[in-house]
Amino acid sequence: MLLGSKISISTISLYILLSASIHGQEVCVTLQERLNSGNLLEVDHLLDKAQIQCPDIVGQIYLRKGNNELAEKLFNQTLKKAQPETADYADALNNLGIIYWNTGSASKGVEHVEQALKIRQKLFGDNHEKVAASYNDLGLILNSTNTDLALDYYESALKIYRNIFGNSHEKTAQGLINTGIAYRNLELYGDASINFNEALKTWKALYPDGHPNEGFIHINIGQTKQQMQDLDGALKSYQEALNLYKRFYGEQHPEVASTLNLIGNINNIKGEFEEAINLYQQALIANTKGFNSTDIEKNPNVSDYLSSNTLLNSLFYKSKAFADLHFNKTLKFSDLKLSLSTLQSCDTLVDKIRQVRTNEADKIALGQLASSVYETGVELCKAMGDVVIKKDEYYALSFYFAEKSKSAVLLEAIADAKAKSFAGMSNAELEKELFLKSEIAFLENSALQEEDDVQKGKLQSQLLEAKTNYNQFIEEIEEKYPKYFALKYNTSLPTIEEVQSKLSESQTMLSYFWTENSKRVYIFEITADKFKLHNNPQTEEFDKYISGFRNGIYFRVKPTYTYTASELYDIVIPKRLDKNTTNLIIVPAGRLGTIPFEALLTDKVKDDMSFAEMPYLINEYSISYSYASALFVAEKPKHSMMEEKAFLCAPVNFTELPNLPGSKKELEDLNTILTNKGYGTESLLEANANESEIKVQDFRQYKYVHLATHGLVNESNPALSRIYFNSSLIEDGNLFTGEIYNLQFDTDLVTLSACQTGLGKLSKGEGVIGLSRALLYAGANNLVVSLWSVSDDSTADLMKSFYENMNSSNYGLPLKLAKTELIKTKKYAEPYFWAPFILIGK
How confident is the model over 578-583, as a mean pLDDT?
95
Q: Is residue 798 part of a domain?
A: yes
9 alpha-carbon distance from chain centroid: 24
Examine the pLDDT at 450 and tell me if it is beyond 90: no
Beta carbons of 79 and 87 less than 8 angstroms apart? no
Helix (H, G, I), strand (E, B) or coil at 507: strand
What digits encode the pLDDT tens for the residues 145-166?
899 999 999 999 999 999 999 9
Enter the pTM of the model. Answer: 0.76
781 and 662 both lie in a single domain: yes
Q: Looking at residue 815, which CATH number applies to its domain?
A: 3.40.50.1460
Of 602 and 28, more confident = 602
So what's the pLDDT on residue 79? 85
- On the CB side of 651, CA atoms within 13 Å amount to 27
Domain limits for position 568: 496-631
Beta carbons of 267 and 276 less than 8 angstroms apart? yes
How confident is the model over 112-137, as a mean pLDDT?
95
Of 12 and 257, more confident = 257
What digits encode the pLDDT tens for the residues 242-291?
999 999 888 988 899 999 999 999 999 999 999 999 999 999 999 998 89
How confident is the model over 445-474, as a mean pLDDT?
70
Q: DSSP per residue over 389-456, as a string?
A: S--HHHHHHHHHHHHHTSSHHHHHHHHHHHHHHHH---HHHHHHHHHHHHHHHHHHHHHHH---HHHH
Q: Is residue 693 part of a domain?
A: yes
How confident is the model over 90-112, as a mean pLDDT?
85
- Alpha-carbon gap, residue 66 to 40, rounded angstroms: 12
Work out the pLDDT band at 448, boundaries 50, 70, 90. Answer: low
Angle at alpha carbon of residue 737, lines to 732 and 739, rounded to 5°: 60
Examine the pLDDT at 590 and tell me if it is beyond 90: no
**Which uninterrupted H or E stretch holds 647?**
strand 645-650
Domain boundary among 467, 488, 509: 488
What digits encode the pLDDT tens for the residues 694-739?
988 989 899 999 999 888 877 666 667 788 999 888 888 988 876 7
Q: Is residue 423 part of a domain?
A: yes
Closest to 194 in 3D by CA, of 174, 180, 175: 180
How confident is the model over 181-199, as a mean pLDDT?
96
827 and 695 both lie in a single domain: yes
Examine the pLDDT at 556 and tell me if it is beyond 80: yes
626 and 644 both lie in a single domain: no
So what's the pLDDT on residue 492? 66
Examine the pLDDT at 420 and tell me if it is beyond 50: no
How confident is the model over 772-783, as a mean pLDDT?
81
Q: Is residue 620 part of a domain?
A: yes
Q: Is residue 223 part of a domain?
A: no
Q: Which range (125-139, 205-219, 436-450) has the least confidence?
A: 436-450
Beta carbons of 296 and 321 less than 8 angstroms apart? no
Examine the pLDDT at 13 and tell me if it is beyond 50: no
φ/ψ of residue 523, rounded to 5: -125, 120
Largest CA distance in the chain: 87
Work out the pLDDT band at 755, boundaries 50, 70, 90. Answer: low
Q: Which range (15-29, 594-608, 683-697) has the least confidence?
A: 15-29
- Alpha-carbon gap, residue 267 to 261, rounded angstroms: 10
Domain boundary among 466, 488, 510: 488
545 and 600 both lie in a single domain: yes
621 and 663 both lie in a single domain: no
616 and 702 both lie in a single domain: no
Q: Which range (345-349, 496-500, 707-711) has the least confidence?
A: 707-711
Question: 3-class secondary structure for 59-119?
Answer: HHHHHHCCCHHHHHHHHHHHHHHCCCCCHHHHHHHHHHHHHHHHCCCHHHHHHHHHHHHHH
Q: Is residue 419 part of a domain?
A: yes
So what's the pLDDT on residue 150? 94
Beta carbons of 15 and 64 less than 8 angstroms apart? yes
Beta bridge partners of 705: 647, 750
Beta carbons of 128 and 160 less than 8 angstroms apart? yes
- Alpha-carbon gap, residue 100 to 102, rounded angstroms: 5
- Residue 473's alpha-carbon distances to 413, 433, 818, in angstroms, are 20, 8, 51
- Alpha-carbon gap, residue 812 to 809, rounded angstroms: 9
Q: DSSP per residue over 704-745, as a string?
A: EEEEES-EE--SS-GGG-EEE-B--SS--SEEEHHHHHTS--
φ/ψ of residue 505, rounded to 5: -65, -20
- Alpha-carbon gap, residue 790 to 838, rounded angstroms: 13
- Alpha-carbon gap, residue 470 to 452, rounded angstroms: 26
Beta bridge partners of 535: 522
417 and 476 both lie in a single domain: yes
Q: What is the CA radius of gyration of the chain?
A: 28
Q: Which range (45-54, 486-495, 677-686) has the least confidence?
A: 486-495
φ/ψ of residue 189, rounded to 5: -70, -35
595 and 559 both lie in a single domain: yes
So what's the pLDDT on residue 27? 81
Examine the pLDDT at 769 and tell me if it is beyond 50: no
**Which uninterrupted H or E stretch holds 303?**
none
What digits encode the pLDDT tens for the residues 668-681?
999 999 999 999 99
Domain boundary among 459, 488, 517: 488
How confident is the model over 436-460, as a mean pLDDT?
68
Question: If you average pLDDT over every residue of the chain, what do you get?
Answer: 84
Which sign does the torsion angle of CA 570, 576, 579, 581 carry? negative
Q: Is residue 806 part of a domain?
A: yes
Work out the pLDDT band at 109, boundaries 50, 70, 90. Answer: confident
742 and 833 both lie in a single domain: yes
Phi-psi region at 615: left, alpha or beta (left = phi > 0; alpha = psi -120 to 50): beta
Examine the pLDDT at 222 and tell me if it is beyond 80: yes
659 and 781 both lie in a single domain: yes
User: Which residues, other chains included, contact 668 with Cβ-Cβ below 8 Å and sequence gap of 6+?
Assistant: none
Examine the pLDDT at 292 and tell me if it is beyond 60: yes
Q: Which range (330-339, 404-413, 578-587, 600-609) has the least confidence?
A: 404-413
E strand segments, 444-588? 507-514, 520-526, 531-537, 583-587
- Alpha-carbon gap, residue 704 to 671, rounded angstroms: 12
467 and 513 both lie in a single domain: no
Examine the pLDDT at 12 and tell me if it is beyond 70: no
Contacts by residues 654-662 (CB-CB < 8 Å, ≥ 24 positions apart): 654/710, 654/724, 654/726, 655/727, 655/733, 657/710, 657/724, 658/710, 660/708, 660/709, 660/710, 660/792, 661/792, 662/792, 662/793, 662/795, 662/796
Work out the pLDDT band at 776, boundaries 50, 70, 90. Answer: confident
Residue type at position 728: S
Q: Which range (202-206, 370-374, 396-400) has the least confidence?
A: 370-374
What total of structural domains would you count in the chain?
A: 3
658 and 796 both lie in a single domain: yes
How confident is the model over 751-771, as a mean pLDDT?
55
Q: Is residue 697 part of a domain?
A: yes
